A and B are shown apart, each in its own frame.
Chain A
Amino acid sequence: MVRQVADSRPAQADTQVSQDKVGAAATPPFEHPWRRRAVLRRSVVFLLVMAQTAAAAYVLLAVLPYHGSTWLEKAIVLVAATLFIWISAGFWMALCGFVVRRFGGDKYNPSVRFAQQLSGDSVELTDTAIVFPVYHEDVQRTLAGLRATWLDLTRTGKQAHFTFFVLSDSRDPDIWLQEREACRLLRDELGDGFRLYYRRRILNLNRKTGNIADFLRRWGKHYTYTLVMDADSIMSGDALVRMVRIMQLDPRIGILQSAPALINAVSGYARIQQFGNRLYGALFTEGLAALQMGEAVYWGHNAIIRTAPFMQYCGLPHLPGVGFIKGSILSHDFVEAHCMWKAGYEVWLDPRIEGSYEESPPTLDDELERDRRWAKGNLQHLYFLFGSKVSLAHRTAFANGIMAYCASALWFIYLVLITVELAQFVLFPIDYFPEPYSLFPTWPQWDPTWAVTLALSTLFLLFAPKLLAMLEVLFSTRRRRAYGGAVAVISGVVLEMLVSVLLAPIRMLAHTQYVLGTLFNLSISWAGQNRTREISWRDALLNHLPGAVLAACWAGFAYWLQPMFFYWSLPIAIPLLLAAPVSVWLSSFRTGRDMREREILLTPEEVSPPAVSADLHNAPSLVAATALTAFERAVVHPRVNGFHVAQAYRRQDTPQRCRQRRMLVRRCLRHGAAALTLKDRAWLVDDGKALSDLHRAVWAADEESVWGRCVDRLCREIRRA
């Protein structure tokens, strides 16, 4: 169906630009009147961070016995200072967010800037594609989320402007056959007004970037905007309409990123992440948005992009470097934001767009597995950190992303250096002349008072933003009620902080491993993410045993060196020793349900569920409940077979194709689906004649044969249903 793209003009533009038609939108160069304010804000935060770090470094020098005279102590101070910059930046960003929120939001923020126009219905919409790139995702959950998003869109009455796409890169026919059937079921249920297209890519080039590029290359010109979703994303209709209107109002915006809130948490771990994200996230996001302004980053989902400039300027080539800085760009979103800005368009993070949601990984181990992929992707950004023509704001964003993982490695190095420093003292004679050619001895002296002060100050910086967010909620009646009341908020914050203290050393060790793995170029597979399973004891022990052994050895060594150091090591060693049971306990769905029943860690979306969330929970089953695989069902079930035959590619019957077909059909009939590779099964499903031949043959097969038993199993299921 070809849709005529409506002419649309923004109701208000800050510059003398106009948008006449798709592909000929207002073009750069634009003026960016907010830049001066952005530079001022960033400079103030930078000075505060540097001053605080300098003070911390000074205190650390006072703490250390030789006060920085030795190379080891210089290394300790350098590592600690780098870490402190990271912690301090987070603190000031949160504080900035708190201040901005006190003043009712940043006036430069698109939602605030266009508040009047957005409150009415005057801004016309235009054709927008909503794309769900998927790869081996939970089909039921993904399509249920898509369905919920559509249903909420219909409540706005603006659904005519939106078209949904499921862009599948799945390789396993048992999964993509389910995807296809689920799309069909959705279309059956929601009728002709629901525009949903399903596309499966035959060649999986460049992963998600290539998936979206393939879609844009062939169909992008139909749509003024493209809204990218993740498999676990859902968005309210109001949020979708609002984002399109903002893009219409400001033709300078190339990418508009919403701040998705976590919902739908089932396991204990996911509930804790959800609560933390919801309670503290607003502060950090508001602060980040106020500092980045129109040079924000793009997170790859729950964001709307202006299709034409994205196609023109944001195609990502392979990196030409060496080692891990070579090949396809894994974390493409930050780079696409940089490319969009370089082309003259703005990229805004708007935390005031409500109704944007996603889900947390269900277990700590799944989050760490995801971090393994992201670590390599972020470290690739070293190419851009030191690259040319990268704005300072985006360079900072790249650095921020890199530090998200390297900070753990630095923390690990810091612990090692401190241990070495103490070991030197205890095991070797004291060096009174650490500096060469010094006439005067240096009396080494640890200063525990300053050490405690420094530690407490660091803890303050880490936890103050959380306490600030909590106070902000407690002092607002509306928000306090939204979180289930004061007691619920306080108990939730305490629990979340305790768990974060437990998890921090586990993440530290894992991230250090990923950083080292990336630097030494060990292979990373980008498989589909687990979004639904608990973790078993076996897996938890396998994953966390090495860390527990390391922690035990370190704590033992610390005790042997000096008992005081042993006590200092406990906040890190104990969580590592308990990592496996903590991981299993938190991943348990029962833990999550118990928390929910006791109203622990409540979020506003649980106290008053939005309609889109209710639609998600009430979605019908879109995946057949059957003992057969999707491939077997496609072969055996007459209607399913007919559907997939109709979807198969229409190819010419060359002699080679006929030979291949005969060979695969024969093998499949003789030995069953399990005897075929993924590639062979995919070939068969993609060939309508082969699928049809198989169907005819299995119904003539002997009852005791592989396929005869399949037919029998299917018929028994139908009878039971």
Chain B
Amino acid sequence: MTRAGEPAIRLVNRALRYFQLNDVPDEIAFSALQDLSARLALLLGEGGLDQAQIDTLWDSVRDTALLHGRAPGAQVRPRSLQDLPVRRGSIGYAEL
């Protein structure tokens, strides 16, 4: 592989790690990686990758991960105190 392919390798590695951290199911992750590799092969064949193309491909990786990954609130919605309605009461300051 030539030096021109190094950004592509980094992108594929990064995508794999991102899918792992998002707990994306294996079949979807490998399918997405296959798709990514194909697109990279096409772009490299046309003359190389620029930063804008890398960013666009990375965005699609993130979108896949968000869509199929175990998002933090997907199963158990994190409960914030903001969910508990306020019932305002005053603290009466004691006379010392």
Give me the interface of A with B, judged by CB distance under 8 Å.
1-2, 165, 184, 187-188, 192, 195-199, 213, 216-222, 311-317, 319-320, 335, 339, 342, 383-384, 387, 389, 637-640, 642-643, 646-647, 696, 699-700, 703, 711, 714-715, 718
Bound Cα distance from A320 to B94, whole angstroms: 13
The docked-state distance in angstroms from the alpha carbon of A339 to that of B95 is 8
14 contacts across the A-B interface (CB closer than 8 A) = A1-B79, A1-B84, A187-B79, A188-B75, A188-B76, A198-B81, A221-B89, A335-B94, A638-B69, A639-B21, A639-B72, A646-B78, A699-B14, A703-B10
Contact B76 A718, beta carbon cutoff 8 Å: no
Chain B residues with CB under 8 Å of A221's CB are: 87-89
**B72 with A217: CB separation less than 8 A:** no
Q: Which of A195, A196, A216, A320 contacts B89 (CB 8 A)?
A: A216
- A639 pairs with B23, CB closer than 8 A: yes
Residues of B within 8 A of A699 (CB): 14, 18, 58, 62
Residues of A within 8 A of B65 (CB): 638
A703 CA to B69 CA, complexed, in Å: 24
Interface-centre pick from B55, B69, B87 (highest chain A CB count, 10 A)? B87
Indicate which residue in B54, B84, B95 contacts A197 across the interface (CB closer than 8 Å): B84
Q: How far is it, in angstroms, between the C-alpha of A216 and the C-alpha of B93 when the chains are bound?
A: 13
A184 adjacent to B78 (CB under 8 Å) = yes
Q: What chain B residues lie within 8 Å of A218 (beta carbons)? A: 86-88
Known contacts: A638-B18, A639-B22, A640-B72. The answer to whether A316 contacts B88 by CB under 8 A is no
Q: State whether the Cβ of B47 lies closer than 8 Å to any Cβ in chain A.
A: no
B92 is an interface residue with CB less than 8 A from chain A: yes
Contact A638–B21 (Cβ < 8 Å): yes
Q: Is the interface of B mostly helix, strand, loop or mixed?
A: loop
Binding site for A on B (CB under 8 A): 10, 14, 17-18, 20-23, 54-55, 58, 62, 65-66, 69-73, 75-76, 78-81, 83-96
A165 to B, closest residue via Cβ: B81
* Bound complex: CA A718 to CA B90 (Å): 48
Task: Assess the B22–A638 pair: CB atoms within 8 A.
Answer: yes
Within 8 Å CB of B22, what residues of A? 638-639
Please determine whether B58 and A700 come into contact, CB atoms closer than 8 angstroms: yes
B70, B88, B94, most chain A CB atoms within 10 A: B94
Closest chain-B Cβ to A633's Cβ sits at a distance in Å of 11
Report yes or no: B96 in contact with A317, Cβ–Cβ below 8 A.
Answer: yes
**Is the pair B87, A198 in contact by a Cβ cutoff of 8 Å?**
no
Is the Cβ of A2 less than 8 Å from the Cβ of B93? no
Q: Which 4 A-B pairs have the closest CB atoms?
A: A315-B91, A643-B72, A221-B87, A199-B81
Bound together, the chains give a CA A165 to CA B80 distance in angstroms of 10
Q: How far is the CB of A390 from chain B (nearest CB, A)?
A: 10
Contact call A197/B72, Cβ cutoff below 8 A: no
Give A312 to B89 CA distance when docked, in angstroms: 9
Q: How far is the CA of A372 from the CA of B40 in the complex (A)?
A: 65
Contact of A311 with B90 at beta-carbon distance under 8 Å, contacts A197-B81, A638-B22, A699-B58 already known: yes
Let me know if B93 and A317 touch, CB within 8 A.
Answer: yes
B80 to A: closest C-beta gap in Å: 6
Q: Which residues of A contact B21 (CB under 8 A)?
A: 637-639, 714-715, 718
Residue of A nearest to B54 (CB): A700
Which residues of the other chain, A, contact B94 by a CB distance below 8 angstroms? 313-317, 335, 339, 342
Q: Which residue of A lies closest to B17 (CB)?
A: A715
CA–CA, A320 and B54, complex, Å: 64
Given contacts A217-B91, A312-B92, A639-B21, contact A1 B83 (CB under 8 A): yes
CB distance from B35 to the nearest CB of A (A): 19
